[in-house]
Amino acid sequence: MSEHEYITQANSPDNTNERPPLFPSTPAEAQPLILYDLATLVGAVYQQQITLTRQGRVTKRFADLLRPLLHGSSWNGERQEDIYVNMLCEAAKQLKLIHRSSSYDDDEDKPYCRPLLESGLEGWSKLDVHEQSRQFLAWWKSSMHWHDVCSTLFRQWDSSDWNPLAARGLLVDLLSSDIYVPERRYSISSLLDTIWSRGPYFLRPAHYRERSRTKSVPLGLRERWDRCEGIVYRGILSSTLSELGIVSTDLRSTDTKTGAFSLPTSFRFTTFGVQVLSKESTSSIVKPIKALVVQPSFEMILLQFDLPTLYQLLPFSVVKLVEQASRLTLTQKSVLRGIEMGMSIDQILAILNASSKKAVPQNVTRTLQDWANTYREAETAEVLLIEVSSEKIADDLCLSPQWQVFRIERIAPCRLLAYNVHDASAFRRLLRKDGIVVRN
């Protein structure tokens, strides 16, 4: 039998009228860990200059500082280094929450991350947790920049024909169907049987095109499939879909000798996951609520995972922890950073007062105002100095409509500054064309 032959029947019956085997389960609250981490990353980008390497990766120094605040599973890249922070940054860029910008200083040549306020972050911050999850899923299903955690037991049996990204869409489609009852625990082996019964070559386009319904499955293919495709499906369930709160898998024990995780054997489709994958339209824009507690110590506790309030706080506070209840801190540096981003102290105080369950402590209000008074800003601009031979010529250059595009300002009777001169040679040619002799 050829390895390209198509299966005629599954290892277990594919009867859509029967539920897969399940286990008793106690419902638990879903945790959208990836959304926590995206908010944490955005907060860090607001508060510091996160430089990137020439390859566009986050520098190791920043990755080491940020990693303890994140919840996502470690994923080792080619250099056996945890690349989760880089995956998260790429997701934030693709979702238009941050962007890569040039350096602050002209004498430095290091790109860095900046908040992408108007294009994406402003809209994202107003979405509820379900819509943010939907947008992440829509990007993730076709993204090669995000890696699902995969077991070391993975064994590829044909690398020439392989499309693992198709597994993501298939799992989302299965969970969106009415096969799995929310908050009931099912064996992953039954899920794999269902996927197998639909065709063993779903992740292999060439094999799938060559399938034949009249031929049976090759001997031993299921064993190879379990150690390849099966491992991929288990990895997606236990990493990305679990860390987004769509499913919950059983806890994986760790081998104390090898440090390797055992494979999950069961999963639960959460109520939160049902709401995210629901096809029914719901309101995705939510309003901030009064769930903030500002303490005299400048510590802030956001009692709920309220995305609009959280994202309003990020520009002028330091993130300590983002979860269902989040902790942030106001510091002089963070407040000045918020002002640098274009916020006024009145706007900052208005956000705190509008979001707080109780009045903001007076010492916090006074101190924030004192900090704002220490803010100092300067702006540099390249200008062209023009010295003319008479005040009449200066009057003509200042008043004539054809020269107004250059924003000419008079600083002395015969001395002018031109602000919008991008090509000095072209500007000199215009002066000569107007009958003004230009000396070098």
CB of 90 closer than 8 Å to CB of 146 = yes
Strands (E), 229-332: 247-249, 266-269, 292-294, 299-302, 318-321, 326-329
Integer Cα distance of 387 and 394 in angstroms: 9
Integer Cα distance of 52 and 115 in angstroms: 15
Out of 226, 245, 277, a domain closes at 277
For 310, the domain range is 296-373
Shared-domain flag, residues 354 and 399: no
Shared-domain flag, residues 221 and 177: yes
pLDDT digits (tens, 9 = 90+) for 118-176: 778 999 999 999 999 999 999 999 999 999 988 888 898 888 889 999 999 999 999 99
Task: Give backbone dihedrals phi and psi of 422, rounded to 5 degrees, phi first.
Answer: -95, -20
Shared-domain flag, residues 134 and 151: no
CB of 388 closer than 8 Å to CB of 394 = yes
Query: Coil, strand, or helix at residue 178?
Result: coil
Give me the number of domains the chain comprises.
4
Residue 251: pLDDT band with limits 50, 70, 90: low
Instruction: Determine, yes or no, domain membership for 379.
Output: no
Can you read off the two tokens belonging to residue 244?
């987004």
Q: What is the mean pLDDT of residues 292-313?
A: 95
Shared-domain flag, residues 398 and 309: no
Query: Coil, strand, or helix at residue 52?
Result: strand
Residue 268: pLDDT band with limits 50, 70, 90: very high
Instruction: Determine, yes or no, domain membership for 5.
Output: no
Instruction: Determine, yes or no, domain membership for 116.
Output: yes
CB of 33 closer than 8 Å to CB of 323 = no
Shared-domain flag, residues 321 and 421: no
pLDDT digits (tens, 9 = 90+) for 334-352: 999 999 988 999 999 999 9
Q: Looking at this protein, which amino acid is placed at residue 356? A: S
DSSP, residue by residue, 71-130? -SPP-B-TTS-B-HHHHHHHHHHHTTSEEEE--SSTT----EEEE-IIIIIHHHTTB-HH
Shared-domain flag, residues 223 and 177: yes
